[in-house]
Structure 1
């Protein structure tokens, strides 16, 4: 009888979902931490509770290395054989060590009203197909739009594009599983996701003095606002994104879309009333989809990550539309140089880790 109950107990234990949890130095779970590896077929993220599914880690060899990284936190790495299914991994906040001095600039006021906003950014965009990086794009650019409008024109200064040869070859095959593809693009400023614009029916619940939880109808948790001395972290899930599309023989499942905005904090700052980009330092969009060509074939998983690092926001009464048109037309003719990493004067900018770019070639 004891043996019988022991077997049942072991079976119940085997059904428990083993997780690694990533937390900060205050033991608060950290969502959306990127987890990469020297194994080019591995890429994942922690969930809203900071959990990393142990089943994902089991895909790796014992000697493979896992890299944990997230903007404003110090990156750490572990050999897979050093980890167990119930480990807690702590990331230290290193933002104070990376804050840079900004160049001072003056604003000249006159009687004419400014019509345009000019946003200087560094950007990064990449896609993972079934755990393999398919493409990577980064560089510097300038977005221009009318004030408080969502339509932007792009002036590219520097950019490079890298691709995975194996996946590109698959995309050229007419018999591939999914007969559509994605292409890299420069992320646009997140007008739709500014707090005043996105989900005006959000409910705010104070968890403590520095943490506000966000809910939508039916008390569905969608994110939180976390405040530190220097920054405000605004993290949300876009539930309007989730759904399924069918086109001809293709089926696309939109699984999730996570948005992170980091603002500069100061006395009197109120993130709920923000209507511009003046204090926005960082934007990240993490999108996960799956797709298949017909019902007889397996789904293919696509993960897309886009990031904007804000360098400067200025305003003008007029712009040179010809310069914008010429730049947009010839944007692939880039003057990208290796000095890019030194010239990105963004407070929160982080170069990509080497493992993200491994096995890619320049287009």
Structure 2
């Protein structure tokens, strides 16, 4: 089986081969190539040690940030490529990190320490596709399966629990029985994982095609880090989830909209300020009345997130939301450049100040002007607004 490898990757493999080292593309790139999915990056593995790699790639710009784990990053044609020395199985500490890193000269030994069979596929042009653990068959049957003993793989690195859910959701695969049993059994090991890493995997899970299935079958795992997400809340959210786009913030808002401490949950999971703004703004405005263009403009004047995000959220959660009408109103407002924010006014604070107002009164006057032009956009002229202010 032949897989197309980009030239900027092949030159690195060729250079290692010329120096009498073996090298392979490994992991997600091969998995995605076989599935016909986009490939975002290529990882290489080799029997060259880190010091030997530094010599081989001495003419390249490179970074040694992961060198203690056997990884260097080489810039090839402007693209960063991680290259890692073969490693062997070892004991793990804190259910996340290997206690020591042992290098190997055996590609099978290196693949054996990986998480799932579909992620342990290797390829180079001379040897073709290498599959030690049945990854190709699992791809064909759409199965996520731990390599070797599932309990041991999960115990080594508890983040694999969430990685299994993410891959299953994204690829619409089934988690193999022994692997599923292991992740249910060892779910409490997630307490050893940092909130930042849980957040990153959780966002990936939220953006998957099969999120409803994951929420239904693995709710007990999600409740380890979001205990507030009770079974009935998940069940009540499924219809809306199925109506929503593959957007993590919108889907998180759907799940949290009936939970009183949503902000606390987001902070606990290390959501950024920008993410929190989107999610909490959607939740706060879940029932905002929008039945006319004027009401829409009044709403837009206070909305602090993109309207399209809110529109998608509201469409998903509210069967009575007049999606097409509201969208038509919004398009008309945009096309006609109708004012709905203070910055859209024909006048500004300096104009009001010149008319004798100061401090907080300036903001109040501008808001009254905005309310006026929201209802009557044609009145958004300097002359009209100055006369209006003089008449107050």
Q: Give TM class, smaller chain.
A: under 0.3
User: If each structure's strand is expressed as a fraction of its own residues, which one has the higher value?
Assistant: 1
Q: Which has the higher contact order (CA 8 A, sep 6+)?
A: 1
User: If each structure's helix is expressed as a fraction of its own residues, which one has the higher value?
Assistant: 2
